[in-house]
Structure formats: structure tokens, C-alpha cells
Amino acid sequence: MTLDPVTLAVLKGRLEQIADEMDATLYRSAFNPIIAEARDACHGLYHRETGDTLVQGTKGLPIFVGAMAFAVKAVIDKVSAQGGLRPGDTFIFNDQYAGGTHLNDFRLVRPVFRNGELFCWLASAGHWLDIGGNVPGGYNPVATESFQEGVLIPVVKLAAGGEIRQDILDILAANSRLPNSNWGDLNGQLNALDLGEKRLNALLDEHGEATIDAAFDAFSARAEALMREAVAALPDGTYSFEDWLDNDGIVDERLTVALDLTIAGETMVLDFSRSSPPCAGPINISTPTSIAACYVALKHVFTDVPANAGCLRPITFIIPETTLLGAKAPKPMAGYTETILRLIGVVFGALAKAVPERATAGPFGTINALSMAGHRANGARWVMFNFFGGGLGGNPESDGLNHANNPISTATMPPVEILEAAYPVLFTQWALRPDSGGAGVHRGGLGAIYEIEVLDERGAEVFLLGERGRYAPFGVNGGGEGALNRFSWDDGGTTGTPPMASKVTGVKLSQGGKVRLETPGGGGFGDPAARDQAARDRDVRLGYLTGAPA
């Protein structure tokens, strides 16, 4: 069946609206701020046989969108092996080796049936606040196997024929310090799937299964054609780039993320074979996560290509299991965010060599996963997990954004008012970090400074899993590096910094103790000597630079 352009445009909007409504349902009902405020979640529609992404929402976390196809395929494989699929079934799991990312990210996958036949899959992913493990919040910077990061739930049926299985709920609740928070997030995800199924059935009633199937095929074909056209416009050749991670939290040696990118006509090969082997600490990632990160990087470069499985058809990935980018169980992966940020950066760096005029300098490249935890007066646990902003890289058109989010997501930091209301902490500083952006014709964006004070008389424990403490965000075309990441604490005059530069565990603070985080700025674009004098003067006037303009 061939659909006219107007019908395709209408159906595209209707289908994206379904995913957007699913996103909104979860954001408005989740209990933990990382979903409700930061929007660390996503929803989409997936192919009934392959699990490929058909439609994604416009508000969901992009890295989830890329990884969720692997998650749905894991469910398809389970059903193929065991059978018994029926309407009303809902699967749940957080297996980072099958579905990508890390254990905090729980996937719910549900089939949609029409006239007794499987039509497609709906899926929801969300970051739960605590799933057990050695460290409250899950980001254990010294984990050496996944068992130290939290409970791993394989693909299991949460609901059979529409009936929730209490035994699964009991297992989930028993393996968290914050079962009520996870219970609220789980119900938000279930409600999002309910709404998605309702909206999709209404659309199918209106247009029929054949028409929607044809639309899915057309969307994928269009994405593939646009990606091939975009790649063909790049000069053929092999372009190599590498960057480094500070360490793995266990062994204080740098780790390499290396890419050899080959363009040949309308196809592209991304070969990561020169990257470091799997490491002892928690910054390994699985192959699904690596491919999802490449997807995000390419979408930043080729912005007009629709976001579905078709855009990856011209791309070949070489991600050996002998590298930390294709690690297997039981390698720890809690800090996957740090590694995918480096991976995205090397894609940017390699493409900058192919087309320097379109290059973007390195972004700040760390989420600075900070957990603070303690006990309330009634004995209940509290766990504040948060991530933090920094500077993006300068680009051909402008300076990098100040205090932005990383290129892995559209998430936003929870507002300070929400964090202070939910946890016994006080943000005593939340400001731009002067002199942190790399110099250039277009300078890098500024990082930020955060200071957080413990208010509770019982004190708190602090854990950080970050990066860029030793290897700064890179500049391009002669641009300078951004500032390094810095973390410190002060407990009544007793101060400290992480021996591993960007990772530390079990720092104990008393009431009144503070942590201070100074995040990196982005790299600069172009020769700093060519920067416009008016732009230099403005930077000094606004306090972005503390020295006199050159």
C-alpha cells in the first residue's frame, strides 16, 4: 500500500502524539524527581518481529530510544523460546546486558493485539531511584561486578493476561531502600502503557491495520533514504579520533575510547576496535548501549533524519567484546553515562576531521552522578540522586551553551526548590563557573559551581561517579580545551578531594558539612586570536571571564 504525503504527515503526527502522551503520563505521576522533573524516561512503538523502533516521543531520553529496540528484542526472544504470549501481558526487566544502559533503568514492554494477532509492541523505560546494591542510588564508583550495583531482573512477566503478579512486586520491593518511590514510578509506567494502548487502538479503529503498517514502512524508508543522502554528502575516507576516561574507579589508569570512522559513498562504518579492553570498574557498557550512543551522536549531526530504525541501516558498527564498549556480564556498568559521553564525543571528533567547517567542540562530558543519603528522624531512608550541567562545545555558528545538559538527553535538572523540599539539603551556591569555557573564535560554554550543605543532624554519606577530572573537553580547529572537573568537600574544616579525581565513595558529612562541584566547560571552536573584540568585552562584562579582554 502506498500512502500520499498528506496522510503520512497526519499519521506521523498522530503516532508521535501517542508516545508524547505516554511520556507526559509518566512525568506527571512518577514519585521520584529524576523522572518527574528531569524526565529520565522514554516511550515508543516497536516492530512486532524485530523490535525495531517505529515511533518515539519527542520528549523522551534519546539514549533510551536507541537502546529500547534491543530491550524489545530481548522480550521477543523470550516469547519465541517459551511461547504463551497473550493480550494483557506486560514484561519487566532491567538487564543492562540485554536492554542496555544500567540497572536503575527499568523497562516495561507490552504487546498490542488486533483481531487476535500481534500488531506491535509498546515500551516504557524509566530511571528508578534505588535498586539495592552497595551504594544508595545505584552509582557505585568502586563496583567490580554488577552484583554490587543492584538487583538484576531478567525478562519476566509482571502481568499475565492483565493480572499483576504479586510475587514480582514483592521481589522488587524487597530489593530497594525506597520501595514506595519505585512503586509510584512503576504505576506511572503501567498507566502510560494503558494510555498508549488505548490511543493506538483508537487510531487503528479509524484507519485500519494495513494503513498504519504501511505508514511504519514509509517512515523507516524515508529515514534510511535521508541518512544515505546525508552520508553521501561527506567526503570519502577514514577519519580517526580518540579521547580518554580518567580511570575506572578501581585502577588509576586512563582508558581509551577510539574510533576509526570510514565513509564510502552512502555508507558509514564506525569501528571502535582500538578502544581499551573491559575494565574492572563500573564504566563498561554493553553493545546495545554503544549503538544507542552512536545513534544519538549521528542524530546531533544529521538533524533532519527522522528518529527510527531506518536511519541506522546505512551504518555498520564494529564493537568487539574485547573492548569496554561491548562488555558482557557480570562486568559493572553503573557509570555507563560517562562512557557514552566519551563515545559521542569521539564521533563528533572524527566527523570534525571529515568536515571541519561543521565541527563542534567537545561538550563537558560528565553527568557527575552525585548521591547523598541518610536517615530521617523516624528511621526512614532518604536518597538524593542528581546529575549536573556544564558547558557545551563551541560550533561554527556560536559559542557553546552555558550550563547545559549533555548531548545524551533532553533531560533537565530538577529545580533546586524540588530538591530542597524533598531532601534535608540546602544549595548554598548554584552559579556559572567563570573562565571554564575553552577559548576560540566561538568559545566553549561555561560550566557551573554547586555547593550543597547537609541540614540533617544525623549527617549524610556522599558518593560521586564522574569524569573529566584529568582529560579536558577538546577544542576543534585550533580552539582551546574546557576546564577540568573538580569535586571537594568540607566537613567542619576537614576538607578533601577524590584520590581518583572524579570518583569517590563513602564520604561522611556531619550537619553543616558541604560538597562543592565545579563542572567542566565546553571546548572552543577556531583560533582564539580571531575572536571578535566585542565578544571578548561582553564576556568580561558578564563575568564569564575574570581577566581583562585581550
Query: Tell me: the pLDDT tens digits for 386-416?
Result: 999 999 999 999 999 999 988 876 667 889 9
DSSP one-letter string for 45-100:
EEETTT--EEEE-SSS-HHHHHHHHHHHHHHHHHHHHH----TT-EEEE--HHHH-
Task: State pLDDT tens for residues 405-454.
Answer: 888 766 678 899 999 999 999 999 999 999 999 999 999 999 999 999 99
Assigned C-alpha cell, 463: 558518593
Instruction: Specify the pLDDT at position 308.
Output: 86
Instruction: Tell whether 266 is covered by a domain.
Output: no
Number of domains the chain is built from: 2
* Amino acid (1-letter code) at residue 508: K
Instruction: Tell whether 255 is covered by a domain.
Output: no
Instruction: Tell whether 320 is covered by a domain.
Output: no
Strand order, beta sheet including 486-491? 425-432, 448-454, 514-518, 486-491, 494-496
Burial of 288 (0-12, 13-18, 19+ CB in 10 A): buried
Assigned C-alpha cell, 476: 576543534
Listed in sequence order, the residues at least 6 apart from 281 whose beta carbon sits closer than 8 Å to its beta carbon are 141, 142, 143, 144, 247, 248, 249, 250, 251, 332, 335, 503
Q: How far, in Å, CA of 428 to CA of 437, rounded? A: 23
Listed in sequence order, the residues at least 6 apart from 388 whose beta carbon sits closer than 8 Å to its beta carbon are 367, 368, 370, 413, 448, 450, 517, 519
Listed in sequence order, the residues at least 6 apart from 11 whose beta carbon sits closer than 8 Å to its beta carbon are 3, 203, 207, 211, 212, 215
**End-of-domain residue from the set 165, 195, 224:** 224
Helix orientation angle between 5-29 and 209-232, rounded to the nearest 10 degrees: 90
Q: How many CB atoms lie within 10 A of CB 257?
A: 28
Same domain, 220 and 363: no
302: left (phi over 0), alpha (psi -120 to 50) or beta: beta
Listed in sequence order, the residues at least 6 apart from 70 whose beta carbon sits closer than 8 Å to its beta carbon are 51, 98, 99, 100, 288, 291, 292
Q: How far, in Å, CA of 314 to CA of 316, rounded? A: 7
- Angle among Cα 151, 153, 159 to the nearest 5 degrees reads 135
pLDDT in tens, the chain (550 residues): 889 999 999 999 999 999 999 999 999 999 999 999 888 899 999 999 999 999 988 887 778 877 899 999 999 999 999 999 999 999 999 999 998 999 999 999 999 999 999 999 999 999 999 999 999 998 999 999 999 999 999 999 999 999 999 999 999 999 999 999 999 999 999 999 999 999 999 999 999 999 999 999 999 999 999 999 999 999 999 999 999 999 999 999 999 999 999 999 999 999 999 999 999 999 999 999 999 999 989 988 898 888 888 999 999 999 999 999 999 999 999 999 999 999 999 999 999 999 999 899 999 999 999 999 999 999 999 999 999 999 999 999 999 999 998 887 666 788 999 999 999 999 999 999 999 999 999 999 999 999 999 999 999 999 999 999 999 999 999 999 999 999 999 999 999 999 999 999 999 999 999 999 999 999 999 999 999 999 999 999 999 999 754 4
DSSP one-letter string for 373-389:
EEE-TTS-EEEEEE---
Please say whether the beta carbons of 313 and 265 come within 8 A: no
Residue 236 Cα distances to 302, 319, 463, angstroms: 17, 21, 46
Q: Pairing state of beta strands 315-318 and 267-271?
A: parallel
Instruction: Tell whether 444 is covered by a domain.
Output: yes
Instruction: Tell whether 302 is covered by a domain.
Output: no
Q: How far, in Å, CA of 389 to CA of 387, rounded? A: 7
Please say whether the beta carbons of 54 and 18 come within 8 A: no
Q: Rounded to two decimals, what is the model's pTM?
A: 0.94
Assigned C-alpha cell, 226: 535521508
Instruction: Tell whether 192 is covered by a domain.
Output: yes
Q: How many CB atoms lie within 10 A of CB 26?
A: 27
**End-of-domain residue from the set 207, 224, 241:** 224
Q: Is the peptide bond before 330 cis (omega within 30 degrees of 0)?
A: yes
Instruction: Tell whether 505 is covered by a domain.
Output: yes
Listed residue (196, 137, 189) closest to 27, CA to CA: 189
Neighbouring-strand partners of residue 317 = 270
| Structural domain for 403, as ranges | 359-550
**End-of-domain residue from the set 174, 193, 224:** 224
Q: Please name the residue that has the C-alpha cell 514502512.
A: 217
Instruction: Tell whether 230 is covered by a domain.
Output: no
- Angle among Cα 302, 308, 309 to the nearest 5 degrees reads 105
**Measured between alpha carbons, how far apart are the two ends of the chain, in Å?**
64
* Phi/psi at 411 (5° precision): -65, 160
Residue 262 Cα distances to 195, 244, 268, angstroms: 43, 21, 6
